[in-house]
């Protein structure tokens, strides 16, 4: 048990035994720091953990108090969607905003709450580097062989073996190795649709999906999406009855930005709908290893009997972001995807493929994942507790089942783009909701990244962000009344 967990457990015992009663004020963070001889960060993490468990509550300018037993705990609200999107396709142009945001994050000077990338300190980079260096020394003597599509045979074998360990049988011959999941998604979309076609997507949806649609000159059709259960299959069925949709792109497990895990019944229903209409589904499953529950989530692929699901995944979120190794299992479109891979980028670098294969075979991937999942689940609770404490009343959050992003609905008429600019001027990045839609329905939403180790800097950034949000809300409300 870590020090902050021990401190939290001691305080929880005092609450359970009645030493600390409902309404009692806890010692301040500074007092506990001095009395217990632990760091301020340790106390902050302990109090945040107790707050996320519903045992205590933070009151602005007052401190922390034992929560009354009948008081509501900060369980996330599911009222996270704007008005139901109209079933009309739209051209896509979100790349400029995304590029500006990523440049700010990449500068290294900002607190990366808006980053789409996990904290690099989560990964066993030294072990991976040792594998890469050993392989590089072999290539110095023998020369670097080309890894033409479908990719390195040992890596493909290890990928198939990993699926088998998680209860899914896959055919290794179906796997095509790519430059990350982004290339896999682009190749699959290119294989099933043409410029001008309409592609159904979740609302909100991960902007990489919108980028792929934009790049290929297609149109996005946003489908109502529940923050707990995923894309509305009935709404999609109604759309398919009245217009042609070339393909559907979804992220059923720990969707970015909502974080939900689509129930198995809904997954079966979505695949059954696709089979009735002979509609391909491009499934992005990049977060599938980052589940918080006891069992690994199933994919849409397991319910596919006609080769209509084009499954895309990678190790970028769970093991090695910098290596850019992903893959596609494109079903009946496998040969076309392999051909497009060859035409677009010819090969995927050999050393990263072989280093990943060696790590998966020898270096305890599951042990690494258990540590990572535990840390992310804990930091998700801490981030939710901090948002509920520091942000304006009426703020709502998602309830992530995996991954590392939190979707936040700010009270209207607050303008998230103005908050984004004000935060950036103070060295804090957020992901404005505009990046996750072709319309303006998410103007009061932001996405936050909780993968970075909790620290006084992270907490202070959230406090500052909450104050900025309160100021924006007051000003935007006054402006709306004056109109």
- pTM for the model stands at 0.83
Give the count of beta carbons closer than 10 Å to the beta carbon of residue 78: 16
The answer to whether 223 and 232 have CB atoms below 8 angstroms apart is yes
Helix (H, G, I), strand (E, B) or coil at 168: coil
Domain spanning 3-66, CATH architecture: Orthogonal Bundle (1.10)
Structure token digits, residue 332: 């009946």
Can you give the pLDDT of all 483 residues of the chain as single tens digits?
688 888 888 888 888 767 788 888 888 888 888 888 888 888 888 888 887 777 888 876 788 888 875 443 444 444 666 655 555 666 556 666 677 666 766 656 689 999 999 999 999 999 999 999 998 888 766 666 678 999 999 999 999 999 998 888 899 999 999 999 999 999 999 999 999 999 999 999 999 999 999 999 999 999 999 999 999 999 999 999 999 999 999 999 999 999 999 999 999 999 999 999 999 999 999 999 999 988 899 999 999 999 999 999 999 999 999 999 999 999 999 999 999 999 999 899 999 999 999 999 988 899 999 999 999 999 999 999 999 999 999 999 999 999 999 999 999 999 999 999 999 999 999 999 999 998 878 999 999 999 999 888 999 999 999 999 999 999 989 888 887
Distances, alpha carbon 388 to alpha carbons 76, 91, 401, 447, in Å = 9, 36, 18, 15
CA of residue 160 relative to chain centroid, distance: 24
Sign (positive or negative) of CA dihedral 259, 265, 266, 267: positive
Residue 54 has what pLDDT? Answer: 76
Each domain of the chain, given as residue ranges in start order, spans 3-66, 95-121+370-482, 125-362
The answer to whether 329 and 174 have CB atoms below 8 angstroms apart is yes
Q: What's 125-362's CATH class?
A: alpha beta
The DSSP H or E segment spanning 178 is strand 176-179
The domain 95-121+370-482 is placed in CATH, from the list 3.90.1150.10, 3.50.30.30, 3.40.50.150, 3.40.1670.10, at 3.90.1150.10
Residue 170 Ramachandran class (φ > 0 left, ψ -120 to 50 alpha, else beta): beta
């Amino acid at each position: 048990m870590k020090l902050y967990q021990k401190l939290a457990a001691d305080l929880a015992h005092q609450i359970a035994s009645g030493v600390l009663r409902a309404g009692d004020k806890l010692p301040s963070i500074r007092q506990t720091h001095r009395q217990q001889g632990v760091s301020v960060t340790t106390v902050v993490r302990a109090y945040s953990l107790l707050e996320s468990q519903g045992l205590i509550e933070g009151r602005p300018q007052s401190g922390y108090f034992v929560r009354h037993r009948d008081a509501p705990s900060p369980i996330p609200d599911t009222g996270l969607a704007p008005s139901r999107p109209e079933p009309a396709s739209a051209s896509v142009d979100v790349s400029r905003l995304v590029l500006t945001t990523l440049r700010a994050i990449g500068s290294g000077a900002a607190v990366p709450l808006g980053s789409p990338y996990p904290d690099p300190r989560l990964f066993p980079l030294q072990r991976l580097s040792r594998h890469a260096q050993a392989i590089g020394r072999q290539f110095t003597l023998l020369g670097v062989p080309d890894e033409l599509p479908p990719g390195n045979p040992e890596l493909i074998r290890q990928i198939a073996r990993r699926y088998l360990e998680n209860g899914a049988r896959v055919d290794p011959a179906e796997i095509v190795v790519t430059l990350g999941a982004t290339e896999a998604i682009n190749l699959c979309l290119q294989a099933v649709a043409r410029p001008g076609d309409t592609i159904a997507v979740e609302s909100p949806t991960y902007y990489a999906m919108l980028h792929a649609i934009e790049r290929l000159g297609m149109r996005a059709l946003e489908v109502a999406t529940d923050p707990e259960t995923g894309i509305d299959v009935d709404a999609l069925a109604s759309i398919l009855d009245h217009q042609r949709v070339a393909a559907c792109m979804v992220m059923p497990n720990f969707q970015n930005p909502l974080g939900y895990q689509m129930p198995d019944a809904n997954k079966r229903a979505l695949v059954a709908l696709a089979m009735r209409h002979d509609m391909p589904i491009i499934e992005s499953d990049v977060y599938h290893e980052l589940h918080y529950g006891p069992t690994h989530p199933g994919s849409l692929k397991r319910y596919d009997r006609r080769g209509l699901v084009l499954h895309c995944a990678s190790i970028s979120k769970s093991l090695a972001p910098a290596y850019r190794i992903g893959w596609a299992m494109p079903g009946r479109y496998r040969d076309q995807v392999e051909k497009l891979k060859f035409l677009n980028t010819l090969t995927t670098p050999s050393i990263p493929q072989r280093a990943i294969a060696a790590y998966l075979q020898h270096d305890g991937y599951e042990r690494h994942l258990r540590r990572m999942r535990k840390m992310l689940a804990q930091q998700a609770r801490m981030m939710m507790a901090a948002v509920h404490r520091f942000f304006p009343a009426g703020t709502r959050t998602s309830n992530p089942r995996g991954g590392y992003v939190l979707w936040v609905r700010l009270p209207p008429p607050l303008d998230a783009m103005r908050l984004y600019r004000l935060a950036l001027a103070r060295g804090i990045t957020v992901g404005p909701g505009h990046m996750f839609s072709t319309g303006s329905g998410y103007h009061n939403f932001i996405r936050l990244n909780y993968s970075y180790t909790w620290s006084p800097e992270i907490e202070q950034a959230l406090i500052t962000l909450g104050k900025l949000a309160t100021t924006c809300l007051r000003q935007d409300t006054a402006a709306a009344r004056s109109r």
